[in-house]
């Protein structure tokens, strides 16, 4: 029987192809070897996932001895835990524990699960990977944590704002500490002695203290709200700018909702820091002062109160690990739920055309149910923890009342002293409990900080294409664009897409790239546009980055007007240039017939336009930049023959260098030279006249 020696740390996958890498990181952590998932992804990751053989290579690289086994379900009982199971023919999970009727697995996509033996039998494919430490024992690889400042940058005004909040809050705490002393005075002096004049003085003092306390609460609330809003704006702006400057490949590996969710992590960190940081300082300081005063009241009673606090800290610490793990699962499920809902709405045409509303809703409901269950587990843990804390506080209350009443009856204390102690004790326990909770909250921020670390560890895309792509500019071939022995693949585990591609494009030349689908044509255009970096080789672009424009297959229009989309939201667009670019793109007359002309709203992603209209507006956007190098990837695939001929004629008349991917014969015939890609290599160069008698992945209109 597989026995669990200790509870494993869950490592959820952040990318769809990370399941195997996450499982390996979890297995390593079982042997106290810490491996950064991002490090694994950089060295061994693949856009299409990893195989069992790759996982064995990873284990060996980190000092483990791997064993890949093929076994039946009954044989799993004899294996040493934990181990990696191949799951549902497309996934990897960690088997943490197994009994004759149930199995405990960690699915890197959803977290820890308990399943029946029947479900295990249904999903388990028979492949098992186990590892054990080798000789010498494997060592942990330290994770390079970036500080929050590295991600968000400097924040203006943070020290001054926090200082104001701290002063106001400190004054409020001083007023609160004086309340027990006033109450003790009322009971021991006013009521006992019957001093009405003193009662008037104390009453006026209480009234003034109450009013002053209200003003301080309002002032502190205003200062916290202002600081929180200001910092959230600055930090969110810095993080979003950082995200937008990341390489294009980063976004290819993640869903849009997963990337944008980093901003929610900023919000969580900001809220904790601006509110909890001040409270921690004050609760720690004034809690210590209150404890000293409690000791002056009575050491016996103070001992009971401190013992209660120790018990509360132990309970909250025990619950912290579980809450952190469940918090990570809840965030992960929330991202998946939002991503699928967004995907369903964006693909509503496909959903309705295929009558798939029920299926799509069912899949979303599955993700939503997992998120709800994760939230429920967190709420249940918090409720149980809170109930246990209340029990401890209640027992302490009973003990203090009993012992304090005994002291009053024995003449060792007055009734006012007991009441004063009870009031001050409540303040102390409230501050100490809040301090404990806030410290735990700070530790839970590691989940959000790690999500920001994911973007901080990525290399920012170079702002200058030539500096990034051309290693030795003087040796590059002259021309607008040249590739020199360029190789490309997405990761070390992926096949080569481009293999030693070399060519040069002269100024003013028109070059068509043809070949079968999947041959690397779009990848070549993206490398030329600076979206992807070559794995090997050199690229030279002979014009300024601002003079390179492109229209790619998956380009988008933004929610805004036609004019804003063509000018890409320029503050003062050139109206004459807008019109001329629209005419050259064969969309000018149609725009004039739009309800508001160039001020017509196009909807999100151009939802109010046809496919051909979108492409022509995208082309107008590229021409508006007055580019010297134009890169086109199937930029006229949605146009009818007449509009396509018009676009070709307009572009041919312009003094602009064009490199374009096309499958239509008429479009290709407009080129002065043809590059044919076969198996990621340039097979031959042909003239457009020869193409008329040849076919290689070309269709006619």
Just list the catalytic residues: 19
DSSP helix/strand/coil, 475 = helix
**What dihedral do alpha carbons 455, 459, 464, 469 form, nearest 10°?**
-140
Buried b / exposed e over 301-330, threshold 16 CB at 10 Å, is bbebbbebbebbbebbeebbeebbbbbbbb
CA 57 – CA 50 distance, rounded (Å): 11
Residue 231 and residue 158 in contact, taking contact as beta carbons nearer than 8 Å: yes
**Residue 409 CB coordination number (10 Å):** 9
- If you compute the radius of gyration of the chain from its CA atoms, what whole number of angstroms results? 34
In 3D space, the residue among 226, 230, 225, 220 whose CA is nearest the CA of residue 167 turns out to be: 220
Residue 75 and residue 124 in contact, taking contact as beta carbons nearer than 8 Å: no
CA 163 – CA 224 distance, rounded (Å): 11
CA 622 – CA 124 distance, rounded (Å): 51
**What dihedral do alpha carbons 72, 78, 83, 89 form, nearest 10°?**
0
Q: Are strands 102-107 and 548-551 parallel, antiparallel or unpaired?
A: unpaired
Interhelix angle 19-30/52-61, nearest 10 degrees: 40
- Which element (helix H / strand E) includes 377? helix 357-409
User: What letter would DSSP give residue 545?
Assistant: G
124: Cβ–Cβ under 8 A, 6 or more apart, which residues?
Answer: 73, 76, 85, 86, 87
- Which element (helix H / strand E) includes 467? helix 465-469
Six-digit token string for 66 = 């791997």
Residue 512 and residue 673 in contact, taking contact as beta carbons nearer than 8 Å: yes
CA 275 – CA 228 distance, rounded (Å): 8
Residue 49 and residue 15 in contact, taking contact as beta carbons nearer than 8 Å: no
**What dihedral do alpha carbons 659, 665, 666, 667 form, nearest 10°?**
-20
506: left (phi over 0), alpha (psi -120 to 50) or beta: beta
Whole-Å CA distances, 411 to 192, 303, 404, 405: 15, 20, 11, 10
What are the residues facing 70 on neighbouring strands?
Answer: 127
Q: How far does Cα 581 stand from its chain's mean position?
A: 38
112: left (phi over 0), alpha (psi -120 to 50) or beta: beta
CA 386 – CA 260 distance, rounded (Å): 33
The sign of the dihedral angle between the CA atoms of 579, 584, 587, 588 is: positive
488: Cβ–Cβ under 8 A, 6 or more apart, which residues?
Answer: 496, 497, 498, 520, 523, 527, 532, 534, 535, 536
Six-digit token string for 594 = 């739009």
561: left (phi over 0), alpha (psi -120 to 50) or beta: beta
């Amino acid at each position: 029987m597989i026995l669990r020696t200790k509870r494993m740390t869950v490592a959820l996958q952040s990318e769809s192809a990370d399941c195997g890498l996450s499982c390996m990181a979890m297995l390593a952590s079982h042997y106290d070897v810490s491996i950064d998932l991002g490090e694994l992804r950089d060295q061994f990751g693949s856009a299409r996932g990893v195989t069992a053989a790759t996982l064995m290579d990873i284990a060996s690289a980190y000092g483990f001895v791997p064993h890949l086994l093929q076994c039946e379900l009954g044989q799993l009982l004899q294996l040493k835990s934990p181990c990696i199971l191949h799951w549902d023919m497309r996934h990897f999970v960690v088997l943490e524990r197994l009994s004759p009727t149930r199995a405990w697995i960690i699915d890197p996509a959803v977290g820890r699960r308990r399943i029946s033996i029947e479900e295990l039998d249904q999903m388990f494919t028979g492949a098992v990977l186990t590892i054990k430490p080798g000789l010498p024992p494997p060592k942990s690889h330290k994770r390079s944590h970036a500080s929050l400042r590295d991600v968000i940058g400097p924040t203006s005004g943070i020290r001054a704002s926090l200082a104001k909040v701290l002063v106001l809050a400190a004054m409020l705490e001083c007023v609160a500490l004086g309340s027990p002393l006033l109450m003790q005075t009322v009971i021991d002096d006013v009521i006992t002695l019957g001093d009405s004049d003193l009662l008037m003085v104390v009453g006026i003092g209480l009234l003034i203290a109450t009013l002053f306390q209200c003003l301080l609460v309002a002032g502190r609330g205003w200062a916290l709200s202002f600081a929180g809003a200001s910092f959230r704006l600055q930090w969110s702006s810095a993080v979003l700018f950082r995200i937008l400057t990341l390489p294009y490949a980063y976004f290819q590996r993640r869903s849009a909702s997963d990337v944008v969710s980093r901003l929610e992590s900023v919000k969580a960190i900001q809220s904790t820091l601006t509110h909890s940081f001040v409270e921690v300082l004050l609760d720690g300081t004034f809690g210590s002062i209150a404890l000293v005063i409690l000791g002056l009241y009575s050491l016996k009673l103070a001992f009971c109160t401190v013992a209660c606090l120790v018990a509360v800290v132990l309970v909250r610490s025990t619950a912290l690990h579980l809450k952190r793990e469940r918090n990570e699962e809840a965030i992960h499920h929330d991202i998946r739920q939002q991503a699928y809902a967004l995907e369903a709405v964006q693909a509503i045409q496909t959903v309705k055309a295929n009558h798939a509303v029920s299926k799509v809703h069912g899949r979303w409901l599955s993700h939503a149910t997992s998120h709800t269950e994760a939230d429920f587990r967190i709420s249940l843990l918090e409720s149980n923890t809170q109930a246990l804390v209340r029990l401890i506080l209640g027992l302490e209350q009973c003990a203090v009342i009993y012992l304090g009443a005994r002291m009053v009856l024995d003449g060792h204390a007055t009734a006012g002293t007991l009441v004063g102690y009870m009031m001050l004790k409540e303040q102390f326990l409230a501050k100490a409990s809040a301090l404990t909770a806030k410290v735990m909250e700070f530790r839970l921020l590691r989940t959000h900080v790690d999500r920001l670390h994911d973007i901080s560890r990525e290399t920012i895309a170079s702002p200058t294409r030539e500096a990034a792509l051309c290693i030795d500019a003087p040796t590059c071939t002259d021309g607008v664009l040249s590739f020199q022995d360029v190789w490309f693949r997405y990761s070390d585990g992926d096949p080569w897409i481009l293999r030693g591609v070399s060519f040069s494009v002269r100024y003013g030349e028109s070059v068509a790239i043809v070949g079968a689908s999947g041959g690397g044509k779009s990848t070549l255009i993206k490398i030329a546009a600076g979206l992807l970096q070559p794995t090997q080789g050199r690229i030279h672009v002979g014009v300024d980055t601002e003079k390179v424009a492109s229209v790619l297959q998956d380009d988008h229009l933004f929610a805004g007007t036609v004019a804003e989309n063509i000018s890409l939201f320029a503050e003062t667009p050139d109206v004459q240039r807008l019109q001329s670019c629209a005419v050259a793109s064969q969309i000018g007359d149609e725009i004039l017939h739009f309800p508001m002309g160039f001020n017509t709203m196009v909807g999100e992603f151009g939802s109010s336009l046809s496919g051909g209209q979108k492409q022509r507006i995208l082309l107008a956007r590229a021409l508006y930049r007055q580019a010297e190098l134009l890169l086109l990837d199937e930029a006229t695939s949605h146009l009818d023959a007449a509009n396509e001929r018009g676009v070709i004629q307009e572009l041919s008349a312009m003094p602009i260098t064009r490199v374009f991917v096309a499958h239509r014969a008429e479009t290709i015939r407009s080129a002065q030279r043809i590059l044919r890609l076969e198996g990621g290599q340039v097979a031959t160069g042909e003239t457009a006249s020869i193409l008329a008698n040849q076919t290689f992945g070309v269709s006619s209109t």
